């Protein structure tokens, strides 16, 4: 249940609201949560298991996950179906032996749903585990990113995809619908996501939509979400062309890696479609061109514009010249001492 729907309900009705979760394979309802009017959290949990039902959040090795870590939701107890009609192979795949029960023949149902435990022991639904992807060597649960973005006070809905609109260039893209009266920028959303997610899980692009496309049965139509063209991305800041030779050289390096022709000194590297792997390549190229050693992390966290990066390069060049001057002065002093000796 979206948090926004809960708030609209309480704003209009003086009644209780219950959030129930469960699949058809387990008598439909297996967890229960009494929604809280004026609650402190911005998510609606699915609560705890009902009587005679066991819920386990497990990793791929069927080991329980700790609080806050996503795991596949498994269901045990008397409410399980016997299996799928005339589909023994699928039954064996989804209804597995229960490793936590001493009862003969006890089984667990693998729901394919992703969830995590909240600190108070209640369960939070994250999405389908089917949406696990691999991007630049990292396995990523898209539902985990979506759940974090939905916690933003400015966001009502969020869907994340791993798209490969250009060959061999798979990127995370977030499609978001803002709350009424809110207009979050890419930078705002990226800053919010960085508080809870590692760098490799931060979407390269945020696409702001009025509504998410839906299928006839009301679910998000992920195939209808638009592709992103880095050269057509809406700019969040006024365009200011590079002026100094250093800014122009840096802009040329960015253009070569990002495939964007027109780059301003205040454009954000990640707003233009940059990601962690490209950031490493850009920093390495800058090092080769200018002979300086820069920190990739600073591009991620601090100076992700041409203007900011130019200052870093200038500082590194000045430090390099000062070090060279100190070394020459030291060598000169040694030569003078040898002559005096």
CATH code at position 219:
3.30.300.30
Question: Could you give the number of structural domains in the chain?
Answer: 3
Residue 333: inside a domain: no
CB-based burial, 323-336: b 16+ in 10 Å, e otherwise: eeeeeeeeeeeeee
**Percent of the chain topping pLDDT 90:** 32
Q: Which domain holds residue 261?
A: 245-323
Which residues have CB under 8 Å from 246's CB, separation 6+? 310, 313, 314
pLDDT above 60: residue 130: yes
- Assess whether 266 and 196 both reside in one domain: no
Do 85 and 33 sit in the same domain of this protein?
yes
The CA distance from 84 to 109, in Å, is: 12
Asked if 158 and 186 sit in the same domain, the reply is yes
Whether 277 maps to a domain, the answer reads yes
| 144-159 confidence digits (pLDDT tens) | 888 889 888 889 889 9
Of 144, 223, 207, 216, residue with least CA distance to 173: 207
Tokens coding 222: 């992920």
φ/ψ bin of 121: left (φ > 0), alpha (ψ from -120 to 50), beta (otherwise) = left
- Helix, strand, coil percent content, the chain, rounded in steps of 5: 35, 25, 40
- Is there a domain that residue 236 lies in? no
User: In this structure, is residue 240 part of a structural domain?
Assistant: no
Domain shared by 216 and 257, yes or no: no
Outline where DSSP puts E strands in 234-284. none
Q: Which among 100, 106, 60 has a CA at the least distance from the CA of 80?
A: 106
Q: Are residues 149 and 92 in the same domain?
A: no
CA torsion angle for 16, 17, 22, 28 (degrees, to 10)?
Answer: 60
pLDDT given for residue 55 in this prediction: 97
**Which segment of 93-97, 225-229, 234-238, 323-327 scores lowest on mean pLDDT?**
234-238
In this structure, the answer to whether residues 111 and 204 fall within a common structural domain is no
Same domain, yes or no, for 60 and 111? yes
Flag whether 27 is in a domain.
Answer: yes
Q: Which of 81, 105, 130 is the last residue of a domain?
A: 130
Provide the CATH number for the domain around residue 120.
2.30.38.10
> What is the pLDDT averaged over residues 84-110?
94
Write down the pLDDT at residue 238.
67
Residue where the block lists tokens 């253009």: 255
Burial class of 111 by CB neighbour count within 10 A (0 to 12, 13 to 18, 19+) = buried
Q: CA-CA distance, 328 to 338, in Å (whole number)?
A: 15
Between CA 176 and CA 194 the distance in angstroms is 16
- 271 pLDDT above the threshold of 90: no
pLDDT band for position 232 (cuts 50, 70, 90):
very low
Q: Same domain for 14 and 111? A: yes
Task: Determine, yes or no, domain membership for 56.
Answer: yes
Neighbours of 17 (CB within 10 A): 16
pLDDT at res. 234: 41
Predicted confidence (pLDDT) per residue in 28-80, tens digit: 899 999 999 988 787 899 999 999 999 999 998 999 999 988 899 999 999 99
Compute how many other C-beta atoms are within 10 angstroms of the C-beta atom of residue 180.
6
Q: State how far the alpha carbon of 198 is from the alpha carbons of 34, 123, 274, in Å.
A: 33, 23, 16
Comparing CA positions, the residue from 316, 337, 156, 314 lying closest to residue 244 is 314
CB-side neighbour CA atoms (13 Å) of 178: 14
pLDDT of residue 317: 87
Q: Is pLDDT larger for residue 58 or for residue 340?
A: 58
Is 268 in contact with 304 (CB distance < 8 Å)? yes
Q: Is residue 315 part of a domain?
A: yes
The DSSP bridge pattern shows strands 205-208 and 169-178 to be: parallel
Q: Does one domain contain both 194 and 259? A: no
Statement to judge: residues 79 and 20 lie in one domain? yes
Per-residue pLDDT at 106 exceeds 90: yes
Within-domain flag for 118: yes
Lowest mean pLDDT: which of 64-73, 111-120, 163-172, 255-264? Answer: 163-172
* End-to-end Cα spacing for the chain: 85
Rounded percentage of the chain residues whose pLDDT exceeds 70: 92
Final residue of a domain: which of 85, 107, 130? Answer: 130
Indicate the pLDDT class of residue 298, thresholds 50, 70 and 90. low
Across the chain, what does the average pLDDT equal?
A: 85
Q: What is the pLDDT at residue 109? A: 96
Which CATH number goes with the domain that contains 264? Answer: 1.10.1200.10
206 and 267 belong to one structural domain: no
Q: Which of 127, 113, 199, 198 is nearest to 160 (CA)?
A: 127
Question: Do 7 and 105 have their domain in common?
Answer: yes
């Amino acid at each position: 249940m979206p948090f926004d729907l809960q708030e609209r309900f309480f704003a209009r009705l003086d009644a209780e609201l219950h959030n129930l979760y469960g699949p058809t394979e387990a008598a439909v309802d297996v967890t229960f949560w009494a929604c809280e009017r004026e609650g402190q959290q911005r998510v609606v949990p699915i609560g705890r298991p009902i009587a005679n039902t066991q819920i386990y959040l497990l990793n791929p090795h069927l080991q329980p996950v700790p609080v806050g870590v996503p795991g596949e939701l498994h269901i045990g107890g008397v409410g399980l179906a016997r299996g799928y009609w005339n589909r023994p192979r699928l039954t064996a795949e989804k209804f597995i032996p229960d490793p936590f029960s001493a009862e003969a023949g006890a089984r667990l149902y693998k729901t394919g749903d992703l969830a995590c435990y909240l600190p108070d022991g209640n369960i939070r639904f994250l999405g389908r585990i089917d949406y696990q992807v691999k991007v630049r060597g990292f396995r990523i649960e898209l539902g985990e990113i979506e759940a974090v973005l939905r916690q933003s006070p400015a966001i009502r809905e969020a869907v994340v995809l791993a798209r490969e609109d250009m060959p061999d260039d798979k990127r995370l893209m977030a499609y978001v619908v803002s709350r009424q009266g809110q207009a979050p920028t890419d930078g705002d959303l990226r800053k919010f996501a960085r508080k809870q997610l590692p760098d490799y899980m931060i979407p390269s692009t945020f696409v702001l939509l009025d509504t998410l496309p839906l299928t006839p049965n009301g679910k998000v139509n992920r195939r209808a979400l638009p592709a992103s063209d880095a050269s057509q991305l809406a700019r969040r800041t006024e365009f200011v062309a590079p002026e100094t030779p250093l800014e122009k050289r840096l802009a040329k390096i960015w253009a070569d890696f990002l495939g964007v022709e027109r780059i301003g000194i205040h454009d954000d590297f990640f707003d233009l479609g940059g990601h962690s792997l490209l950031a490493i390549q850009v920093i390495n190229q800058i090092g080769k061109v200018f002979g300086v050693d820069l920190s990739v992390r600073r591009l991620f966290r601090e100076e992700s514009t041409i203007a900011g990066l130019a200052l870093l390069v200038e500082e590194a060049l000045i430090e390099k010249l000062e070090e060279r001057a100190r070394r020459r002065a030291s060598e000169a002093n040694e030569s003078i001492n040898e002559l005096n000796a």
